[in-house]
Structure 1
Amino acid sequence: MASNGNNSGLDRARTKMREAGVDELAVETFAHYFRLLEHGETGMVPEESIEPLDMESLADAQVAEADAAEAIGACVVIKLNGGLGTSMGMDRAKSLLCVRRGLSFLDIIARQVLHLRDKYDARLPLIFMNSFRTSEDTMAALARYDELPVEGLPLEFLQNKEPKLLAKTLQPVAWPRDPDLEWCPPGHGDIYTALRSSGLLAQLIAAGYRYAFVSNSDNLGAVPDPQVAGWFATSGAPFAIEAVRRTPSDRKGGHFARRRSDGRIVLRESAQTLEADKEALADLDRHKYTSTNNLWFDLQAMQDLLDARQGILGLPLIRNVKNVDPADPASPEVIQVETAMGAAIEVFDGARTIEVGRDRFVPVKTTNDLLVLRSDIYDLGADFVLDQASDRVPFVDLDSDFYKLVGEFDKRFPEGAPSMRAARSLRVSGDWTFGRGVVLEGDVALDSPSAQRIAPGAVLVGEDTDA
């Protein structure tokens, strides 16, 4: 891959970023990855270069109450909140989506943090990394929580943006019909660049904070738990990630491994896996753990490493090939240069992983996930922490022709989600509207070529039940 034998692609990209007001550190970080791309770097992690990773479990960790309280008192909570939920038909911050009892992701996150502040008499700042598309809506929604801001600290900082590059030439793409589509976020690995360039990293250290807990705003299981904070603080590690056992639904996703060459922990994403290694990627017995994207780091250790590397952490490149207009497969192919924040685990000496329960990993990526979250599978307690009320989380597969977009999904559950505590699975093919108080048991499959309504209070019993 070359850019016509010179740096014109990079020069044009730099100029475009500066003219758009992108921070200079972000420009130089992009330049670092552009050069890797230009020299043929793919970011691939061959199976032969890694070996499986085992790890300790939080369930076995002994954390003293005093250590937990001290750690949470020195912690700041950062939520990644740049996503619009476009895959579900949304055009505003995904975290504004109603989840339970009229509360959005943002409402529940704010109340989780406020509860912990009261319980542990901790400052516990909550700060969102927004995009220019989510900032206004998010800040307006948070304005109702007068007590949420911590004096001297912002409630948000903004992620950076970078130009999409034409796959054939590495030139910044021009798309006059919708210039916004010329830009993309640099992946959530941008958090470290944005924390430093905004001055927030130095600000937090100066204010006496020691640890950061970072997670996605669409994962309500990602509570800044004092036990995990205490484990991290007493471990002495500079960086750690919470992991969960992979399930069949994680076969195509990323996983942890240990690099043979230097023994460091790596996080291999599916986009970094060679086609020949896809079978090994899907082997749940070989690669047992996936990332929750809940991570912890020592603020001072992060600043020291960034200082030593002139502000560029040097995370592994992810070369993401897409169409400039994701909705138009005929539009030009572009490369999005991305990094994953979890990949920072390989740049820190002494980084750790710890296995946590699946209750700390409840991401909502599709309306299938949203239905489970809105159902009675989870209770929401006075601490606003999700409590799994059934032995298992049922598998849900809704017909994407009718349920993929939130607006259409809501029309088909006008009186709320069905009871799913006794369900193993729900597969829906066709257009089905659910009445109030529907109960699902066992493996329920619905299939009809014409629109159907399920009567209020109906009990649908699948073939396999516990009865």
Structure 2
Amino acid sequence: MSGRSSGLELARAKMVDAGVDPVAIETFAHYYRLLEHGETGMIPEASIEPVDIESIADVEVPDDVAAKAIAETVAIKLNGGLGTSMGMDRAKSLLCVRRGLSFLDIIARQTLHLRREYGVRLPLVLMNSFRTSADSLAALARYEDLKLPDLPLEFRQNMEPKLLLDSLKPVEWPKDPDLEWCPPGHGDIYTALRGTGLLDQLIEQGYRYAFVSNSDNLGAVPAPRVAGWFAASGAPFAIEAVRRTPSDKKGGHFARRKADGRLVLRETAQTLPEDREALADLSRHQYCSTNNIWFDLHAMKATLDAREGVLGLPLIRNEKTVDPADPTSPKVVQVETAMGAAIEVFEGARLIEVGRDRFIPVKTTNDLLVLRSDVYEMGPDFSLDQVAANVPYVELDDNHFKVVGEFDKRFPEGAPSLAKASSLKVQGDWTFGPNVQVVGDVELDGKGVQRVPAGEVLSGDPSGSDA
């Protein structure tokens, strides 16, 4: 037995001991074999061409079609993330975002509002990781009507061992054994839905469509109009897309594969270094994913059954250190897949362009500042409405603002007004007093501890000089 193969056997044994679902173990083995054969998951620019897609704004969706579709929909939120990049060690969705409400508070209220307005059951189910489950369920316990009597409020995503970069053997880290494990990327949702029995349960109870989105995207409401479009399309699978802007540097984009005409989602991690320029060309690749996904439960079940539970999504090979907070800890490979990559598995899959109001992700404290500001208003339906003409570009100094605790200290009275801002760039250690306004393009720079006084209007000319 070769060292590499024994790595798979060791990983398999470790997963069995931890009680991981057998199909999840087979799925992991599928990707392990790709990894040891040198598969990188790269999608060369020469193999794809740009896509053009229809817009939801131009589609006719009769009210009765929308109402019927939302009555047959289940909302699933990806809730496995810890917000480690913002210095958090618990579910990111517990972060306070507006008026003392967390992401989960707002999601629960959005769901309850839609149920009342449309007279539908609309189950809300979280896909939690082993690290986010307890905290998240405790936070939702106050919403007594949220859990439906015959469906769970959560299912767990699977976990897999991190592999040492040089040997592909499972890493051992006695200091914190939890760090020996990682989630298999959000592409695991399909495996987990099937393995937990939830997919069959939903179908038995008469649900037809799933709407899946990230818990850190408060724009991702299961809108009846979009549900109606998807139901009428007859497609097995669809993703909501938005036009890329300069702030979408990190995200993937959609394209069409020349070989078979299938739609594909290319992530940054699947782009060759020599193709980075084409990736960044917003005039060539115009659409990126919101990670708001619709699929037909029957089509998903039939496809998973035919493939014995292994959907066969493209591999994403993610190199990290075993302890993300310690760059000197051993280098590991995490085998991941992206949920949206399933678009290439389904014949007849569709894309639909939606407004930017359905894509308000919070990946950094820069995004959090915009979300907490007056760029958005929260309506009585708990949806976020963009009231400013534009979403400003915000870039805060990582040394002082990257971690939520430090960020909060520097905005003790809340976010400044950004409704008239084009951009805000902050270098150095600045604390903002109450009722500060940012107008146009503003840059703050300075040595030592600095303060923006209460009521200050910071205005800059379009060239970007500060007040």
Q: Give the corresponding residue for 1:247.
A: 245
Structure-to-structure mapping, 1:177-216, within 5 angstroms: 177-216=175-214
Q: Distance in 2 between matches of 1:135 and 1:80?
A: 11
Alignment match, 2:12: 14
Q: Distance in 2 between matches of 1:354 and 1:216?
A: 18
Q: How does 1:265-344 map to 2 (within 5 A)?
A: 265-344=263-342
Q: Does 1:413 align with 2:411?
A: yes
Cα distance in 2 for partners of 1:225, 1:6 equals 48
1:231 match: secondary structure: helix
Separation (CA, whole Å) in 2 of partners of 1:42 and 1:456: 52
Tell me the equivalent position of 2:394.
Answer: 396
Counterpart Cα distance in 1 of 2:4 and 2:451 = 63
Q: Is the Cα–Cα contact under 8 Å of residues 437 and 456 in structure 2 kept in the other structure?
A: yes
CA distance in 1: counterparts of 2:176 and 2:250, whole angstroms: 32
Q: What is the rounded CA distance, in whole Å, between the counterparts of 1:277 and 1:265 in structure 2? A: 19
Greater Cα shift, 71-80 or 445-454 = 445-454
Q: Which amino acid is the alignment partner of residue 395 of structure 2?
A: D
SS at match of 2:218: coil
Structure 2 portions without partners, runs of 5+: none
- 1:462 maps to what in 2? 460
2:146 pairs with 1:148 = yes
1:438–1:25 Cα change, 3 Å: same
Go from structure 1 to structure 2 and tell me whether the alpha carbon gap of 1:464 and 1:7 turns closer, same or farther (over 3 Å shift): closer
Q: 1:4, 1:169 within 8 Å by CA — same for their partners in 2?
A: no
* Residue equivalent to 2:360: 362
Q: Does 1:80 align with 2:82?
A: no
Q: How many residues align?
A: 463
CA distance in 1, matches of 2:80, 2:73: 22
Q: Which structure 1 residue ranges, 4+ long, deviate > 3 Å from structure 2?
A: 3-6
In the other structure, the counterpart of 2:44 is: 46
Q: Is the 8 A contact 1:251 1:284 kept in 2?
A: no
Letter of the structure 1 residue corresponding to residue 26 of structure 2: E
Residues 68 and 392 (structure 1), Cα distance of their counterparts in 2 relative to 1, 3 Å cut = same
Aligned to 2:169, which of 148, 171, 183? 171
Shift of 1:440: 1.0
1:280 corresponds to which letter in structure 2?
A
Q: Matches of 1:146 and 1:326 in 2, distance apart?
A: 37
Cα distance in 2, alignment partners of residues 377 and 82 from structure 1: 28
Q: Does 1:112 align with 2:116?
A: no
Instruction: Indicate the RMSD between aligned Cα atoms, in angstroms.
Output: 1.1
User: CA contact under 8 A between 1:252 and 1:281: conserved in structure 2?
Assistant: no
Aligned to 2:159: 161
The superposition leaves residues 315-365 of structure 1 with CA deviations (integer Å, 9 ceiling, x where unpaired) of 000111111122222222111000000000000010000010111000000
Give CA deviations for 1:259-278 in whole Å, capped at 9, x if unaligned.
Answer: 11110000011111111111
Tell me what 2:127 maps to: 129
Output the amino acid matched with 2:276: K
Residue 4 of structure 2 contacts residue 168 of structure 2 at CA under 8 Å; is this kept in 1?
no
Q: 2-side partners of 1:136 and 1:300: how far apart?
A: 31
Tell me, in whole angstroms, the C-alpha distance in 2 between the residues paired with 1:387 and 1:237. 29
Matches of 2:94 and 2:325, distance apart in 1? 23
Aligned letter for 2:423? S
Give the distance between the partners of 2:159 and 2:249, measured in 1 at CA: 30
Mean CA deviation greater in 450-459 or 192-201: 450-459
Give the secondary-structure state (helix, strand or coil) at the position aligned to 2:408: helix
Match of 1:261 in 2: 259
In structure 2, the residue corresponding to 1:56 is in which secondary structure? coil
Tell me the equivalent position of 1:446: 444
Give the alignment's TM-score, normalised by structure 1: 0.98
C-alpha displacement of 1:445: 1.1
Shift in alpha-carbon separation, 1:116–1:216, aligned structure 2, 3 A: same
Q: Is the 8 A contact 2:247 2:393 kept in 1?
A: no
**SS of the residue 1:189 aligns to:** helix
The structural deviation recorded for 1:379 is 0.3
Rounded Cα–Cα distance in structure 1 between residues aligned with 2:331 and 2:390: 41
Secondary structure of the residue aligned to 2:216 is coil
Q: For residue 35 of structure 1, give the secondary structure of its aligned residue in structure 2.
A: helix
Which one-letter code corresponds to 2:406 in the other structure?
Answer: E
Distance, in Å, in 1 between the alignment partners of 2:261 and 2:227 is: 25
Task: State the distance in 2 between where 1:44 and 1:334 align.
Answer: 19
Distance 2:182 2:299 in 1: 29
- Aligned-pair distance for 1:6? 5.4
Which is further off, 64-73 or 327-336?
327-336
Q: Among the aligned pairs, what percent are the same residue?
A: 73
The offset of 1:464, in angstroms, is: 3.4
Selected match of 1:378 from 376, 388, 402 = 376
- Alpha-carbon distance, 1:5 to partner: 5.5
Aligned to 2:30: 32
Cα distance per residue 1:60-116 (max 9 Å; x no partner): 011001100000000000000001111111111100111111110001001111111
SS in 1 for 2:186: coil
Q: Is the 8 A contact 2:80 2:131 kept in 1?
A: yes
3-state SS, counterpart of residue 292 of structure 1 = strand
Residues 79 and 214 of structure 2 are in contact (CA less than 8 Å); yes or no, is this contact kept in structure 1? yes
Q: Distance in 2 between matches of 1:338 and 1:120?
A: 37
Larger CA deviation: 359-368 vs 164-173: 164-173
Aligned partner of residue 135 in structure 2, secondary structure: helix
Cα deviation code 1:396-446 (max 9, x no counterpart): 011111111101111111111111111111111111111111111111111
Mapped to 1, the partners of 2:10 and 2:196 lie a distance apart of: 24
1:33 counterpart SS class: helix
1:364 is paired with a residue whose SS is coil
Task: Check conservation: 1:127, 1:155, Cα contact below 8 A.
Answer: yes
What CA distance in whole angstroms lies between the structure 2 residues aligned with 1:381 and 1:136?
A: 30
User: How many angstroms does 1:252 deviate by?
Assistant: 3.9
Residues of 2 paired with 1:92 and 1:189: CA distance? Answer: 21
TM norm structure 2:
0.98
In 2, Cα distance between equivalents of 1:220 and 1:240 = 19
Partner of 1:235: 233
